[in-house]
Amino acid sequence: MKTPSALFLLSLAGIAGTPTAPASTPSPDNAGIYAFTMKSIDGKDVPLSTYTGKVMLIVNVASRCGFTPQYKDLEALYTRYADSGLVVLGFPANNFGSQEPGTEAEIKAFCTTTYGVTFPMFSKLSVKGDDQHPLYRWLTSEDTDPIFAGSVKWNFTKYLVDRKGNVIGKFGSSVKPLSDELVEAVESALRR
């Protein structure tokens, strides 16, 4: 069985097929991921259409997780590739072991003072279960992209979205942001 990252590489090589536009989307205008408007960590509305033409790395984050130090590498990845068109989007979630119990203000203070985070952070949401946010319902749906469908297993799961809004990769918590695997995927997406 191929791993999700192997499927990502195969899809880039054209072996598994190029991901297509989502079969079903959250809005009547078929805008896919760009149909969502999210709340920033400061409570402002941010349409994801703001990032049209960018490569997005969408990550569910938590402040009290064994993977929390990945904030540092997410920031480094963002800083390295922002001028080339990458944006990292952090979505705090308290779904796994209550590892994100803080308020938005507490989360923002922690991320900026401890890890120097400058990439966009958003209000806390749910990535699974009955209260799953529609964005994560879209990201995990087989209708969106059957290759990368399936529930979020833990904090710091990373979804790579290309410049056209297609999900082209999913990376588990253990895949470090500066790993060869993820950096190569980001660089490939930026070249497309």
Average pLDDT score over residue span 121-130: 97
Q: Which of 65, 82, 149, 190 is catalytic?
A: 65
Confidence of residue 143 (pLDDT cuts 50, 70, 90): confident
> 15 in a domain, yes or no?
no
Q: Is position 111 annotated as part of the catalytic site?
A: no
**Single pTM value for the model:** 0.85
- Whether residue 22 lies inside any domain: the answer is no
| Nearest Cα residue to 162 out of 45, 32, 36 | 32
pLDDT at 112 over 50: yes
- Looking up residue 76, the CATH number of its domain turns out to be 3.40.30.10
Domain range for 148:
4-10+31-191
Total of domains in the chain: 1
Look at residue 30 in the predicted model and tell me its pLDDT: 60
How far apart CA 129 and CA 4 sit, in angstroms, is 22
> Has residue 131 been placed in a domain?
yes
118 is a domain residue: yes
